Amino acid sequence: MKISHAKIDVLQEIGNIGLGNAATSLAHLLQARVDIKVPRAMFLGLEEAIELIGGLEKPVICVNLHVGGEISSTILYLFEQSDACALVDLLMGRPVGTTTGMDEMGYSAVMEIGNILTGSFIGAIATMTGLRLVPSVPVLAHDMLGALFAASVAASGYTEDQVLCIQTSFTGSQVNDGVDSHFIMLPEVESLDRLFTALGLSVDDGC
């Protein structure tokens, strides 16, 4: 499995455009400023990817969506509990700090945010490439990062030792409390050729 540096750059740029769109939606929804870091696309071992995000046993809330259609991919949004609570408060228009623990209501609010972000993310990519992309209904879990990441990778059918991962974090600057989250996209490598072709890049010239 090989992807040239040029193609990694293209994936990063696509991540940038899609996430820019997603961050704008989130900012509108929360009536707050939302910043994103420049996404990085990389091939990583599973454990390297997990270490990068926070370690195998770190408790996180994870929204998992599958994107089907002409490119298959798994998208994960990861929040720490305190950040998810702040996000729920922002969404409900309450002062940050009102919500202190996650319940059914909180989880479905976080899932809905995952839906909205993914919708605008793939909307931008679909417009740019003309490809048909279909998001699935999100699923959620609140547990150890390692358990959730490995389960997501296993369920997506990845069998390589290394995963292609487009990763970034969102930061919201609402009053004095920010909301941090990680975005992870795990594209199915076999379907990337369709993406590169749609963008006018030749598949096999190693560009």
Partner 1 sequence: MGVLRLEPNLLRITFSVEETLEIHVGIAEYRVARSPQCLLTLGLGSCVGVVLYDPVLRVGGLAHVMLPDSKQFRVGGKPAKFADLGVEFLARDLQRAGCSVGRMMAKLAGGAQMFFGNVRASQMAVGERNVEAVRSVLHEMRIPIVAEDVGGTTGRTISLDTTDGRLTVRTLGRAIRVI
Q: Are strands 162-174 and 177-187 parallel, antiparallel or unpaired?
A: antiparallel
Q: Which is nearer to partner 1, 32 or 107 (CB)?
A: 107
Coil vs helix vs strand at 121: helix
Distances (CA, A) of 15 to 33, 103, 104: 19, 31, 31
Q: Which residue has the tokens 């479905």?
A: 108
Binding test (CB under 8 A) with partner 1, winner from 140, 198, 199, 201? 140
Q: Which is nearer to partner 1, 3 or 139 (CB)?
A: 139
Alpha helical stretches, state H, 42-103: 46-53, 81-92
Q: Which residue has the tokens 């090989």?
A: 2
Query: Pick from 192, 185, 207: which is nearest to 49 by CA?
Result: 185
CB atoms within 10 A of CB 19: 24
Judged by CB under 8 A, the number of residues near partner 1 is: 32
- Tokens coding 172: 């919201």
Q: Which is nearer to partner 1, 60 or 91 (CB)?
A: 60
Q: Does residue number 46 form part of the binding site for partner 1 (CB under 8 A)?
A: yes
> Minimum distance from CB of 28 to partner 1 (Å)?
25
Mark residues 156-185: x for contact with partner 1 by CB under 8 A, - for none: -x-xxx------------------------
Binding test (CB under 8 A) with partner 1, winner from 61, 145, 185, 186? 145
Q: Does residue number 199 form part of the binding site for partner 1 (CB under 8 A)?
A: no
> Minimum distance from CB of 6 to partner 1 (Å)?
25
Backbone angles phi, psi at 9, to 5 degrees: -60, -40
Q: Which is nearer to partner 1, 17 or 150 (CB)?
A: 150
Number of alpha helices (DSSP H) and beta strands (DSSP E) in the chain: 6, 8
Query: Pick from 173, 169, 172: which is nearest to 183 by CA?
Result: 169
Q: Which is nearer to partner 1, 5 or 137 (CB)?
A: 137
Mark residues 100-129: x for contact with partner 1 by CB under 8 A, - for none: -----------x------------------
Residues that bind partner 1 (CB under 8 A): 46-47, 50, 56-57, 59, 62, 64, 66, 111, 136-141, 143-148, 150-155, 157, 159-161
